[in-house]
Structure 1
Amino acid sequence: MISDDRRQPTTISDSVTHSAATPNWWQRDDLAYDTGGRLRLAGQDLAHLAQSAGQPVFAYSARRLSENLDRLRQALRSIPHSSRILYAMKANRFLPVLSHLKTAGIDGIDVCSPEEIHLARQVGFREDQISFTGNSVSNADLDCLAAHPGVWVNCDSLSTIRRLAERSPGRKIGLRINPRVGVGYRQNEQLRYAGDTATKFGIYADRMEEALALADQVGLSVTGIHFHTGCGYLDDQLANFRRVLEEALPFLRLVPHLEHINLGGGLGIPLAEGDAPLNLSAWSEVIGETLGSLAVAIWMEPGDYLVKDTGVMVLEINTIEEKGGRTFVGVTGGFNLHLEPAFYHLPLHMLPCCLSDDPGSQALPKATVVGNINEALDVFAEDIALPPVAEGDFLAFLNAGGYGTSMSSNHCMRGKFAEYLVV
């Protein structure tokens, strides 16, 4: 076994497969307890991996990554349009993950900064496979885009249109619009990029004609429309997703030479018991019914949908102690490694890496799991039930493959971790 840190990507090959006797809502062929009660991801013993690494671990299943991409491709085949899937790099930029997607034949990459452009090129994506969508875009950003004329650019503001034209005249561009309808996991307003409250994202209807006139005046040709209105939506949000597309139609009709529509990302996965997988047949049906009459290509930018459930974060339990009438479980890693529970109130389902009948272990019907950062915000979950665990055990945090390491920091100088792609 080879351990690594955040600067040295590692790929692990392990062909052993296991299954658990009792199915759980999160269980699948590549994620289950083996007959010895040890949690395995794509055959890899997670406790052994974390023990060998000696630091917080993020492990990703290459098999699950391929399955997620194939499932989405299959759904898009049912719509009456050609389509492109562009992976949203901001979700997870681990080089082996990017390389695996490249090898799997993904159509391209969605980026939002010059450094992401450079990383996409490093992995081997051509300029015409890269789509840039940013906001508060600086002149330095625009200089980089001018130096990469093959990169597609979605302009988020009139200011960007004007300043891009000064540096890259004659370019085809897309406009990011804001249809004022948002979608998000379990009605979570923090995950909505559009809605009744004005946000920084996109061009609103009251300035759309002005934006098109400006683009024409400065010599840019608008041939694409982009919108991304929220994150993590499941079936309960499909009606809102339909509204997003319907509200986008007046924008689309204003563009005389429209070639493609970029639906953004936001497709969700089950994060907790009771969540059901997004019905992709129903999702694609909504696209066909609302946009089917338009002779355009459909682009999309999934991030979480491809990587979130591929990943498990593994942290060691160092403290189990009652304080003020509450049982706290302290782990060797904090919200700086995965901030979604603290910032967005999104659950990371937690499991012991080894099921234990050790008399020293104790079941915890109501535990609060906390990290090792000196901030009150550093709480992973409150009052959850945990199977028997003891200090020194390893705890697995499921669905940690997206917006974990890519948003991590070195706060309190506790930013070290190891990453692995298990193949």
Structure 2
Amino acid sequence: MLDSRTVSPCEPDSNWWERKDLTYLDGRLHLAGQCLEHLARSAGEPVFVYSACRVASNLGRLRECLGGLPQSTKVLYAMKANRFLPLLSELRRLGVDGVDVCSPDEVLRARQVGFREDQISFTGTSVSDADIDVLARHPGVWINCDSLSSLRRLGQRCPGRKIGLRINPRAGVGYRQNDQLRYSGELPTKFGIYRDRLEEALQLAARLDLQVAGLHLHAGCGYLDDQLENYRKVLTGILPFLERMPALEHLNLGGGLGIPLVQGDAPLDLAAWTGVVADVLGGLQASIWIEPGDYLVKDAGILVLEVNTVEEKDGCRFIGVNGGFNLHIEPAFYRLPLHPLPCRFPTGSLSEVPVPAQVVGNINEALDILHGNAILPGLREGDYLAFLNAGGYGSSMSSNHCMRGRFSEYLVV
């Protein structure tokens, strides 16, 4: 069953990405039982396809490992990863504990799909007075303040409110040590309150009659097993904060859990991850919250684009498609790979030896390269490519640049 809405290296035997709900059947790529080429042809435009089954599997796997921690836990979905309404409704149906939001409009989106105020956690940055005015009208929403400025202005409008502080432990993690994905680290960042200003923040909160009952951090995005020792440093870095706040009700560890993006990446060992958490925080009495976004939805989504140009220029093979970095920003801006696969394996005269090619979009910018060295079999204009791991930070970060912002979204349930 489909729920849709319209908005204005890759060899056949390289199956590192393959799983039960993502595979070739009779030479055509299927996700959750749906032929991706057929969906794209019927849509007539770029299309994101999401597997509800995969989202459920990811959530279940995460819950199972969290059950091994001595503390009670909550899983809050990071809405900024993907805010497609049917997907949010499905996550609510699956029993996610709540949502992590970072703007007033995301608060309203969460309420639209039925999340209660007490299931919503707001962690914003550069928060305006107008933002705070909206939050004041939702007294049940949990708010994490990431600056003394927002703390002061919130206290002036909402005295007596129970809140959290977003902190910065001066250590970070990210996929393959990508500094663009670190939210904290050796270099100063805009996120969170540093240890040297914690006392000032606590005193300010007390003067304004704000009850600080939670701590929040988010150290980076997409980390796998190779970053777990760095993650241990992140957790160790928050111990001085915890020592100052013995009556804490909960500690929010944010998100950032990664998934394999290329051949050679291994899935994050969740048992090892929870082992690090238990080693460092095993004696913590407060509950532990986490905010996965990509981990739940990234590998549940595929972006399908039509090939409209196959041509060699100056010795380089280019494959042009009907969408660009305005539909999925990660390859251009974060150097994160979108792995392309043919929606249908070429046969007969098309079954040439796979050769390297640049897969490029239809945006008039030099950055518009979706994959710089894809090994693809023979493709013709009119064929379709499926870009893996497109379920997070694709549609939610899309733009109408060059007025090419149209796409459809389908949730297979």
TM-score grouping bracket, smaller chain normalisation: over 0.9
TM-score between the two structures when normalised by the length of structure 1:
0.95
The 5 A counterparts of 1:12-411 are 24-34=15-25, 36-360=26-350, 362-411=352-401
Q: Shift of residue 254 of structure 1? A: 1.0
Counterpart code for 1:372 = N
Secondary structure of 1:399 counterpart: coil
> For residues 179 and 241 of structure 2, what CA distance do their matches in structure 1 show?
24
Query: Superposition RMSD on alpha carbons, in Å?
Result: 1.4
Quote the offset at 1:252 in angstroms: 1.2
Could you tell which deviates more after superposition, 208-217 or 398-407?
208-217
Cα distance in 1 for residues equivalent to 2:74 and 2:375: 42
1:84-111 per-residue CA deviation (whole Å, 9 max, x = no partner) reads 0000000000011100000011100000
Partners of 1:232 and 1:103 in 2: CA distance: 26
**Structure 1: gaps of 5 or more residues:** 9-20
Distance 2:44 2:308 in 1: 13
SS at match of 1:90: helix
Q: Which has the higher contact order (CA 8 A, sep 6+)?
A: 2
Task: Report how far residue 358 of structure 1 moved.
Answer: 3.4
For 1:373-399, what per-residue CA distance to the aligned partner results, in whole angstroms no more than 9, with x for missing partners?
A: 001110011122112221110000000
Tell me, yes or no, if the aligned pair for 2:328 and 2:397 is still in contact at 8 Å.
yes
The match for 2:406 among 388, 396, 416 is 416
Distance 1:256 1:45 in 2: 54
Q: Secondary structure at the match of 1:351?
A: strand
SS at match of 1:75: helix
How many residues end up aligned between the 2 structures?
410
Rounded Cα–Cα distance in structure 2 between residues aligned with 1:391 and 1:294: 58
Deviations 1:51-105 (A, max 9, x none): 1100001000000000000000001000000000000000000011100000011
Q: Give the Cα separation in 2 of the matches to 1:53 and 1:172.
A: 47
Q: Report the CA distance shift for 1:213/1:419 in structure 2 as closer, same or farther (over 3 A).
A: same
Give the secondary-structure state (helix, strand or coil) at the position aligned to 1:119: helix
Tell me if the contact between 2:3 and 2:411 (Cα under 8 Å) persists in the aligned partners.
no
Judge conservation of contact 2:152–2:205 (CA < 8 Å) in 1: yes
Residues 304-358 of structure 1, C-alpha deviations (whole Å, 9 max, x = no match):
0000000000000011111111111000101000000000010011100001113
Percentage of identical aligned residues: 66
- Partner AA of 2:192 in structure 1: G
Tell me how far apart the structure 1 counterparts of residues 93 and 130 of structure 2 sit (CA, whole Å): 31
Any conservation in 2 of the 1:3–1:52 contact (CA below 8 Å)? Answer: no
Give distance in 2, aligned partners of 1:284 and 1:4.
36
Q: Which is worse superposed, 255-264 or 396-405?
A: 255-264
Which ranges of structure 2 fall in alignment gaps of 5 or more residues?
none
**Contact 2:5 2:410 (C-alpha < 8 Å) held by counterparts:** no
Give the Cα–Cα distance (whole angstroms) in 2 for the partners of residues 28 and 5 of structure 1: 26
* Partner-residue secondary structure (3-state), 1:67: helix
Matched residue type, 1:90: K
Deviation track 1:125-181 (CA, whole Å, cap 9, x = no partner) reads 000000000000000100011100000000000011110011111011100000011
Tell me the secondary structure at the aligned position of residue 231 of structure 1. coil
CA distance in structure 1 between the partners assigned to 2:66 and 2:74 by the alignment? 9
Displacement of 1:23 in angstroms is 7.0
Verify the 8 A CA contact 1:131 1:154 in the aligned structure 2: yes
Q: State the shift of 1:362 in Å.
A: 4.3
Q: Which secondary structure does the structure 2 equivalent of 1:224 belong to?
A: strand
